[in-house]
Structure formats: C-alpha cells, structure tokens
Amino acid sequence: MAAQKGKDLLLKIHDGAAFSTVAGLRSRQIAFNSETVDVTHAESAGRWRELLAGAGAKRASISGSGVFKDAESDALIRQTFFDGLIRNAQLVVPDFGTLAGPFQITTLEIAAEHDREVTFDIALESAGEITFTAL
C-alpha cells in the first residue's frame, strides 16, 4: 500500500437510512485487540506460557478528533451518544478496504479555548462482528 492522505480515511455512521460521513474529523485511528486465554500448566515446555488459539474475545476501537462543521452529522453523533444506541459504522481506509460492523459511541468530549474553535473527541467500541472488505 502506497502512502495515503489522512483526510481520505473516513468514519461513517449509519443513520437508519444511509451512511453519513462524520464531518470535521482531523484525526482518526482504529485499534484491534484480542484477549488471550492462558493454558499454561506444570508440564508446559520450558515453563513458557501457552495460549489457546482463537479463544479470546476480539474487539475494535475507533477514535477521532476534530471540529464541528456539519449540522447533520453533528446531530447524528450527539443523538446516538445520548440515546446509547448501537449503530452500524464503517471506517474506509484508502487503497486498503472498508471495516464495518456495529459500534457504540463510548466517549464524546467537547472542548474549547476562548480564542480557538470548539473541538470534539469521539471513541467507538465494537458491539458485534466486524467485517473487512478489500478494495
């Protein structure tokens, strides 16, 4: 994969009718995690830890920060958070593919300095199976 423009990595949330791009994001990140299941026992070779393959829970976390700039997507984010809804989301990674699945907004922070723009930070956690579609 060649170098890509960060602005082309998009976070989209389904509003019930279609996917809406979360406007104003300046930075975005996704992290994948998998819990381990330790099955080490007294006869483990050299007393090295042994893990059970494919047994731990997997999760994806999306985070981002930016500025408010689009009333429609701002309202969607705000209402989704306050209603505690789980919505389908997509993270479109240019020249790589699209990650998609159900997510819940777990953090919505709003900040401002008196001589600067209002900013927000958002975090989403996966709430089910995440799929990947290659481009």
Q: Which of 89, 38, 37 lies closest to 58, judged by CA?
A: 37
Question: Residue 52: what pLDDT?
Answer: 93
Which of helix, strand or coil describes residue 128? coil
* pLDDT (tens digit per residue) in 66-94: 998 888 888 999 999 999 999 999 999 88
What is the share, in percent, of the chain residues with pLDDT greater than 70?
99
Question: Residue 9: what pLDDT?
Answer: 84
Q: What is the dihedral of CA 113, 106, 10, 28, to 10 degrees?
A: 60
Q: What's the pTM value of the predicted model, to 2 decimals? A: 0.85
Phi, psi of 99 (to 5 degrees): -100, 135
Question: Residue 1: what pLDDT?
Answer: 62
Domains of the chain and CATH, by start? 6-134 (2.30.110.20)
* pLDDT (tens digit per residue) in 12-53: 999 999 999 988 888 989 999 999 999 999 999 999 999 999
Residues in Cβ contact with 78 at an 8 Å cutoff, skipping those fewer than 6 apart: 108
CB-count burial class (<10 Å; 0-12, 13-18, 19+) for 133: exposed
